Amino acid sequence: MSQNLAALGLPVAAGIVIRFGVSLTALLASAVVAVAANDSDWAECGRADARAIAGCTRIIQSGHEDQTNLGTAYNNRGVGYASINQLDRAMADYNIAIELNPGLPEAYTSRGLAYGSDDYERAIVDFNRTIQLKPTYATAYAGRCGAYITKGDLDRAIADCSIALQLEPDASTYRSRADAFYSKKEYDRAIADFSRALQLDPGNIDTLKGRASAYKDKGDADQAIGDLTEALRLDPTDPVAGKIRGDIFFGKSEYDKAIADYDQALRFKSGIPAYWNNRGLAHSQRGEQDLAIRDFNQALAIRASFPTALMNRGLAYRSKGEIERAKTDFTAALGLPSEDAEAQEAQATARAQLAEIDSARQTAQTTEAKPSSVLDAAAPPTGKRIALVIGNSAYRNVQPLRNPANDAHAVAEEFRRSGFAEVVEKQNLSLSELSSELKAFGDKALDADWAVIYYAGHGIEVGGVNYVIPIDAELKTTSHVEEEAIPLDRLISKVEAGRKLRLVILDACRDNPFVQRIASVGATRSVGRGLGRIEPTRGNMVAYSARDGQVALDGDGANSPFAAALVQHLKEPGLEISLLFRKIHDTVWNKTHGEQEPFTYGALPAEALYFKVEGSS
């Protein structure tokens, strides 16, 4: 969910004049002479705050200053007005200052900053004029850097900020250059500049939020959370910090924490539709569809033309079985403008959902219209489907598992009932046996439309690679893993030949004694708790019984919570595969009280795929 800083609610190049971020003090011009006005008036006029207004006004009204000094007084009074955000008055004073003293560089920079993002082209012209008059004026380069960021000319922005920093290191200029690096997705360079800004201006909340966003998009969630937590400690009412931290917790599947942060953000800024939408997503992931719909409704009340919220509400309705409402939302999402990548992604999902719903109905109608004798003789509507089902329970060198053999048998039976042409069911395989079965299955998949592997047993992630563990493995050190276990990639490669569906289902994240064994002798590579995140190639799907980094439950009954949910929902006709796994997710999440969250990885083609069509028994 990469976003630019402005989209996150952060001021880009944040400073006193927010858009271009330089210190107002740097804009003050010095009087050449003080003739009629006394020193105290000039001292007051030289302040970079509202107190300058009175002192500068007395100087202007004295009627005794020359044009040069009057230009200075008007410029400084404009700075005073800018400090209290009265930019129209500030602009009027800057115009007079330039008319009185065309050679006053500070006045051009002041006016350039006042133009801001509303008229960055005119701002650039003023900054250019300043630099012609005063080539060593760091503030002008910093201001032009901000203007180029607004324009989207990031390379020029970085060049100008770099010159400004050579002339005068400044926290706001480092922050501006960091914004430019962030927009270029050069996250390490952005983080370095945000860090330098914090050294010069410790505890600046905007800088902390900016660095957190860079850490977040770089994938360093813990560092990002640290910065946001510090920002919220400094200002517990900051909604942007709460929202960003909520997004990170959502990405880590810590939905309770995400919802708490969204609650806090909404308490202080309830008019942002994205905040409501994101909290709705967190409720939906917890299976709380009514609460999710309530939040999506609120997002749409604020912004009716919000394709993402419409699509998400449609998914929530579909999850509840309210198909007509879901169709209405998906159709409405498609009718909105495709303004950005997020909208386009939401509309693509809505289009696929409508196709799935229509395909399911057409299949159901066709099935109902056929005589039972025709149905019995017909081939499965999804073509030739084959599966390899493995349950490893009887581990020889660690405590045996209770349920994988039972789980594999239950899943295999349900695959057979669903009309699979061939289901190979194997229990308690050694390394050589597992290798042999995978090889044979890969050959069989060459003429299959669906190729599915289900594995229940122990799995492990070592050095960023996921493995399934045969029953004869010892795994005394991490160096033995490659010789004694089977990498997940090999399972994925064996389903690659499937023409329509290539699916690997792993109930292999159970609490793993091999992890403790390896750790106790000093692991030479990182050893994960559960399996690691993967990114299958397009057209492949991998389903984990517990998402990456989490441990699944073996269960107290005859089957693990995941296997029980899989079998339960495989029995339901008319469930397209994406909805099938969403239902499995919610069932396991609710049954384990949030301790276990199934997760799917990869992307399937747009074709609707069903284990059991409507009308089948």
pLDDT tens-digit series, residues 389-399: 999 888 888 87
Task: Print burial letters for 539-566: b (CB count within 10 Å at least 16), e (below 16).
Answer: ebbbbbbbbbebbbbbbeeebbbbbbbb
What is the distance between the alpha carbons of residues 458 and 437, in angstroms, rounded to a whole number?
17
Give residue 173's identity as a one-letter amino acid code.
T
| 429, 457 contact by CB (below 8 A) | no
pLDDT of residue 512: 63
Domain boundary among 227, 245, 269: 269
Note the pLDDT of residue 370.
Answer: 53
In this prediction, residue 122 has a pLDDT band, given cuts at 50, 70 and 90, of very high
Q: What is the mean pLDDT of residues 240-254?
A: 88
Range with lowest mean pLDDT among 276-290, 503-517, 558-572 = 503-517
Please state whether 17 falls in left (phi above 0), alpha (psi between -120 and 50) or beta: beta
Residue pair 414/570 in contact by the 8 Å Cβ criterion: yes
User: Which DSSP helix (H) or strand (E) runs through 245?
Assistant: helix 239-251
Q: Which two tokens stand for residue 148?
A: 């180029």
What rounded mean pLDDT belongs to the chain? Answer: 84
> Which residues have C-beta within 8 Å of that of residue 561, sequence separation ≥ 6?
545, 552, 553, 555, 588, 591, 592, 596
Residue 148 has pLDDT above 70, yes or no: yes
Residues 472 and 326 in one domain: no
Same domain for 398 and 499: yes
Task: Kindly report the three-state secondary structure assignment for every residue of 250-285.
Answer: HHCCCHHHHHHHHHHHHHHCCCCHHHHHHHHHHHHH
Same structural domain, 344 and 460 = no
* Higher-confidence position of 521 and 255: 255
559 pLDDT higher than 60: yes
Contact between 468 and 489 under an 8 Å Cβ cutoff? The reply is no
- Residue 18 has a pLDDT of 33
Determine the average pLDDT of the residues in 28-55: 78
Which distant-in-sequence residues (6+ apart) come within 8 Å of 297 by Cβ? 313
**Residue 383: pLDDT over 70:** yes
Q: Could you tell me what percentage of the chain is helix, strand and coil, using 3-state DSSP and rounding each to the nearest 5? A: 60, 10, 35
Report the pLDDT averaged over residues 365-381.
49
Average pLDDT over residues 146-156: 93
User: Do 164 and 139 contact (CB within 8 A), yes or no?
Assistant: yes
Q: Residue for token digits 């912004």?
A: 303
Q: What is the pLDDT of residue 13?
A: 33
- 395 with 339, same domain? no
Asked whether residue 531 is domain-assigned, the answer is: yes
Do the domain assignments include residue 22? Answer: no
| pLDDT value of residue 1 | 36
Among 343, 199, 359, 287, which residue's Cα sits nearest to residue 584?
A: 287
pLDDT digits (tens, 9 = 90+) for 162-195: 999 999 999 999 999 999 999 999 999 999 999 9
- What is residue 369's predicted lDDT score, i.e. its pLDDT? 57
Looking at residue 360, what is its pLDDT? 66
Residue that the structure tokens 């390899």 belong to: 388
What does the alpha-carbon distance between residue 318 and residue 572 come to, in Å, rounded to a whole number? 15
Q: What is the mean pLDDT of residues 239-244?
A: 93
Between CA 308 and CA 302 the distance in angstroms is: 13
Tell me, yes or no, whether 506 and 422 share the same domain. Answer: yes
Contact 10, 240 (CB under 8 A): yes
Q: State whether the Cα torsion 488-493-498-501 is positive or negative.
A: positive
Same domain membership, residue 264 and residue 351: no
Same domain, 361 and 383: no
Position 12 pLDDT exceeds 90: no
| Interacting residues of 592 by C-beta distance below 8 A, sequence separation 6+ | 553, 561
What confidence score (pLDDT) does residue 64 get? 84
Residue 491: other Cβ atoms inside 10 A: 24
How far apart CA 263 and CA 110 sit, in angstroms, is 40
Contact 281, 250 (CB under 8 A): yes
How far apart CA 378 and CA 439 sit, in angstroms, is 30
Q: Which residue has the higher pLDDT, 360 or 189?
A: 189
Give percent of the chain with pLDDT exceeding 70.
84
Same domain, 584 and 473: yes
**Chain centre to alpha carbon of residue 10:** 16
391: helix, strand or coil: strand
pLDDT at residue number 284 = 84
Range of the domain at 249: 203-269
User: What's the burial of 403, exposed, middle or buried (CB within 10 Å: 0-12/13-18/19+)?
Assistant: buried
Among 244, 247, 250, 249, which Cα is nearest to 227's? 244
Give the range with max mean pLDDT: 52-56, 344-348, 538-542.
52-56
Which residue, 211, 244, 269, sits at the end of a domain?
269
Planar angle of CA 437, 380, 598, nearest 5 degrees: 60
CA dihedral 180, 184, 185, 186 (to 10 degrees): -70
- Range with the largest mean pLDDT of 112-121, 275-284, 491-500, 596-605: 275-284
3-state secondary structure of 509: strand
Provide the CB-side half-sphere exposure for 464 (13 A, CA).
1
CATH at residue 306 = 1.25.40.10
Q: What is the pLDDT of residue 196?
A: 97
Model confidence over 288-308: pLDDT tens digits?
Answer: 889 999 999 999 999 999 999
Residues 504 and 580 in one domain: yes
Q: Which residue did the predictor score with more confidence, 117 or 216?
A: 216
Residue pLDDT, tens place only, 310-348: 999 998 888 788 889 999 999 999 999 887 888 888 898
Q: How many domains does the chain have?
A: 3
Note the pLDDT of residue 128: 95
- pLDDT average, residue stretch 138-160: 93
Q: What is the pLDDT of residue 11?
A: 36
Mean pLDDT confidence for 394-421: 86
- For residues 175 and 252, which has the higher predicted lDDT (pLDDT)? 175
Q: What percent of the chain has pLDDT over 90?
A: 47
Residues 502 and 578 in one domain: yes
Torsion sign across C-alpha atoms 459, 462, 466, 467: negative
More confident residue, 383 or 66: 66
- What is the predicted pLDDT for the residue at 158? 96
Residues 578 and 510 in one domain: yes
pLDDT value for 517: 60
